[in-house]
Structure 1
Amino acid sequence: MLCAIGIGCLTHFKHRRRTISDEPAIDITITRMRMGLDESTIESFEKIVLGESRRLPGVGHADGTGCCSICLSEYNGKDIIRCIPECKHCFHAHCIDEWLRMNATCPICRNSPSPSHSHLHISSS
């Protein structure tokens, strides 16, 4: 009796596995498309080394305190900062670089940092 149940279970799962493996595979690369700016556009945005005063050159940072809106870490002296030219918002360079590879807009104001959309690219990963 136990052997019959065991053989029945094996047959069922073997048939089920074959049915699942016969289904067409979904191309994951299509579902993971990212749209952002190309590397040369990102690199064209000015990078600065933050001084000990931690005073950022962009808008809304007059008091010299604050944190990166992407990683939420406070700015420290000697941090490398990148500012988006059109809106003057500033972030840690590594944070905004990664953001702009995946998104074509500023994370704060959502304006496009590129006046023309010719710099947009689509990459998959």
Structure 2
Amino acid sequence: MGPPRRLLRSAAAPPEPVAADSDVVVVLASLLCGLICAVGLALVARCAWLRRAGGAGAAVRQKKGVKKKVLRALPRLTYRAAESPLAECAICLAEFEDGDEVRLLPQCAHAFHVSCVDVWLSSHSTCPSCRRVLAPPPPRCDQCEASCSKTAHDGDGPPFLP
């Protein structure tokens, strides 16, 4: 029984120290963690910069719906298939039919069913299709009951064209 023990002992030589390899692994893991942290911070900084560049007020305005007065001022039309036969509401995805009440957004000329777009605009101030911010209509003039600049009036007389 003596010789087999020697073979096992001689075959199981002590392992070489791998301290240098484990140090490399630790350094590479540390560099990887640092890279991930740097990328994360860069993304957070970019997000904050974009939010500031867009203006905090613009972000709040877009999330808040339009006022009822502005909503009532948006044009309403009765749809006629003969004028534009291939049209559909981008909110409910139903095709417009003759006689449907359609609201036309003035900034982008997108049309939607009145009931669909009114629900949307009660919580958003952007077009559902192109996300363009809806600007309020120009104020109506007390003197001429039209949309004009109040500085266009010469005293109490009728408005003049600039």
TM-score under structure 1 length normalisation: 0.55
The answer to whether structure 1 residue 109 and structure 2 residue 145 are counterparts is no
Name which structure has the greater RCO, CA cutoff 8 Å, separation 6+. Answer: 1
Deviations 1:44-99 (CA, angstroms, capped at 9, x unpaired): 010011124262xxxxxxxx213100011111000000011111111001111111
Contact residue 89 and residue 96 of structure 2 kept, 8 A:
yes
Distance in 1 between residues matched to 2:107 and 2:87, nearest whole Å: 21
Structure 1 segments, 4+ long, off by >4 Å, are none
5+ long unaligned stretches in structure 1 = 1-33, 56-63, 117-125
**C-alpha offsets along residues 22-65 of structure 1, whole Å, 9 cap, x if unaligned?**
xxxxxxxxxxxx7200111011010011124262xxxxxxxx21
Q: Mark the structure with the bigger radius of gyration.
A: 2
Alpha-carbon shift at residue 115 of structure 1 (Å): 5.5
1:54·1:65 contact (CA, 8 Å) conserved in 2? no
Aligned match of 2:121 in 90, 100, 103?
Answer: 100
Task: Verify the 8 A CA contact 1:54 1:75 in the aligned structure 2.
Answer: no
Name the TM-score, length of structure 2 as normaliser: 0.43
Q: Which of the two has greater helix per residue?
A: 2
Please state whether the residue corresponding to 1:37 is helix, strand or coil: coil
Higher share of residues assigned strand: 1
Gaps spanning 5+ residues in structure 2: where? Answer: 1-62, 138-162
Count of residue pairs brought into register by the alignment? 75
In the alignment, structure 1 residue 66 sits paired with structure 2 residue 81: no
Partners of 1:52 and 1:109 in 2: CA distance: 24
CA RMSD of aligned residues (A): 1.8
